């Protein structure tokens, strides 16, 4: 099954497609409420995979990414980022390990550029970097809600029992992000049957629904609109377990370590809600400091009860205000709220 075939299959199932993304299945508001209250099945067309294979894959990625790749267990995943020499995040990932194969899950609009840039650094390392999963074209699906485990079992798929654990099956894998929230990567040839089996207990929903779930969980997906904008600590990547402060050099390590040990981070991740659209890369302003922006939206989507929700990186000094302005000092109000503490997952 080709990419076009998969899009045609989803279209026949009621999907509305905009710029190759699944915007919804006819009722985005209802799909968002189902994500909050019931169970949803989402084609993850906004995400992509990059496979790294070869005997040097672990060392290669360990020397490039912010996370401790060498200690990533087989059958597990970890948050990771790839940064510039200035410590700015080029992309955010979930890094999955299956034996000697490592797979980066990232924003689809960054995948071609990131894969190309990674290949530049391979040099003499015995590593192959390719877009997509190793050895097969995979379709990514998201499943979340109270019936998620039952839907997986009913479809004959394994159910990982720990967060960031991967359970492999004949034609793909299942990754558990959190209780009741899973990502399935399945061979393209098996995708229609897998979709139909999972849809028996889950409502089909557009990709904004999965992005809203990321916003609710505090996962900062870096996209083309925000690439090179944030040091990992600004996006709470140190709290999410995506930065190791015990490993050696990697791009941006000096800046990231200095920021950590000197405690000079002055921006952090917050949730935002507004009546007007909140779009990745949009600047935030505080009336107290009208001469420059005080933050930037990481990603935003419609909210289940109306309006728009977002994650945003905001200056600590401006975050003391209950409300900021969107797009300019005369812009619409946006209500700010802190994320729940993530200290249990923090990097060391």
Predicted local confidence at residue 289, as pLDDT? 83
Q: Nearest-CA neighbor of 211 among 201, 219, 199?
A: 219
**Rg of the chain (C-alpha set):** 20
CATH class of the domain whose range is 1-206: alpha beta
Residues of the chain scoring pLDDT < 70: 340-348
**Binding-site annotation, residues for substrate:** 183
CB 51 within 8 A of CB 209: no
Write down the residue that tokens 């990625």 correspond to: 61
**Binding-site annotation, residues:** 183
CB 308 within 8 A of CB 274: yes
CB 48 within 8 A of CB 108: yes
Architecture of domain 232-345: Beta Barrel (2.40)
Query: 270: which strand partners?
Result: 312, 338
Q: What is the largest CA-CA distance in the chain?
A: 57
Predicted local confidence at residue 298, as pLDDT? 98
Q: Where are the domains of the chain?
A: 1-206, 232-345
Predicted local confidence at residue 312, as pLDDT? 97
CA distances from 278 to 24, 164, 270, 271 (A): 18, 29, 13, 11
Q: What's the sign of the alpha-carbon dihedral 147, 149, 150, 151? A: positive
- For the entire predicted model, the pTM comes to 0.94
Q: 3-state DSSP helix/strand/coil percent for the chain, to nearest 5?
A: 25, 35, 40
């Amino acid at each position: 099954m080709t990419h076009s075939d998969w899009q045609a299959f989803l279209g026949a199932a009621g999907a509305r497609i905009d710029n190759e993304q699944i915007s919804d299945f006819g009722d985005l508001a209802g799909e968002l409420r189902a994500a909050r209250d019931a169970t949803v099945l989402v084609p993850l067309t906004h995400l992509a995979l990059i496979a790294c294979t070869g005997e040097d894959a672990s060392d290669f990625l360990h020397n490039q990414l912010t996370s401790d790749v060498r200690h990533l267990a087989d059958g597990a995943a970890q948050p990771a980022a790839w940064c510039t020499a200035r410590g700015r995040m080029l992309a955010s990932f979930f890094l999955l390990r299956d034996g000697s194969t490592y797979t980066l899950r990232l924003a689809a609009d960054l995948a071609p550029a990131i894969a190309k840039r990674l290949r530049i650094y391979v040099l003499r390392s015995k590593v192959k970097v390719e877009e997509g999963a190793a050895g097969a074209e995979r379709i990514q699906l998201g499943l979340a809600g109270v019936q998620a485990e039952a839907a997986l079992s009913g479809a004959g798929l394994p159910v990982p029992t720990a967060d960031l654990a991967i359970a492999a099956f004949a034609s793909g894998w299942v990754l558990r992000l959190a209780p009741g929230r899973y990502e399935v990567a399945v061979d393209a040839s098996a995708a229609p049957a897998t979709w139909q089996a999972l849809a028996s207990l889950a409502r089909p929903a557009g990709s904004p629904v999965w992005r809203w779930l990321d916003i609710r969980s505090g996962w900062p997906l870096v996209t083309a609109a925000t690439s090179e904008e944030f040091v990992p600590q600004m996006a709470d990547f140190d709290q999410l377990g995506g930065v190791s402060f015990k490993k050696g050099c990697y791009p941006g390590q000096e800046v990231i370590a200095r920021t950590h040990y000197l405690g000079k981070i002055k921006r952090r991740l917050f949730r935002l809600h507004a009546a007007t659209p909140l779009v990745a890369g949009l600047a935030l302003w505080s009336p107290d400091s009208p001469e420059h922006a005080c933050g930037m939206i990481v990603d935003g989507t419609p909210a289940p009860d109306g309006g728009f929700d977002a994650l945003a990186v905001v200056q600590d000094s401006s975050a003391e205000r209950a409300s900021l302005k969107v797009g300019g000092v005369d812009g619409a109000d946006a209500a700010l709220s802190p994320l729940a503490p993530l200290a249990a997952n923090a990097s060391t």
